[in-house]
Amino acid sequence: MADIESARETFDKFDVDGDGFITADEYSAAMKAMGDAFVTAAVADAVVASKDLNGDKKLSFDEFWASLNK
């Protein structure tokens, strides 16, 4: 099981605009900032979609947390 404090810190790094959600664009930008230049828009869309439980095309912290505890 993941540590919720660490998960929150990681989530906040991805949630660039601070609105409480991670979009595919934010995911892609964060991955590129961490040195992964291979995260294309299609890859970012697929990653977000795979963890997006309610289908709104963005990740809430609850969805992010759930994906870490599978």
Supply the CATH number for residue 64's domain: 1.10.238.10
Contacts of 44 (CB under 8 A, 6+ apart): 24, 25, 27, 28, 31
d(CA 31, CA 21): 16
| Domain span at 54 | 4-68
d(CA 24, CA 18): 14
Q: Is the pLDDT of residue 19 over 60?
A: yes
Share of the chain above pLDDT 90, in %: 91
Number of domains comprising the chain: 1
Give the tens place of pLDDT for each residue, 24-57: 999 999 999 999 989 999 999 999 999 999 999 9
pLDDT at 2: 67
Q: Is 20 helix (H, G, I), strand (E, B) or coil?
A: coil
pTM, to two decimals: 0.90
Phi and psi at 37, nearest 5°, equal -80, 0
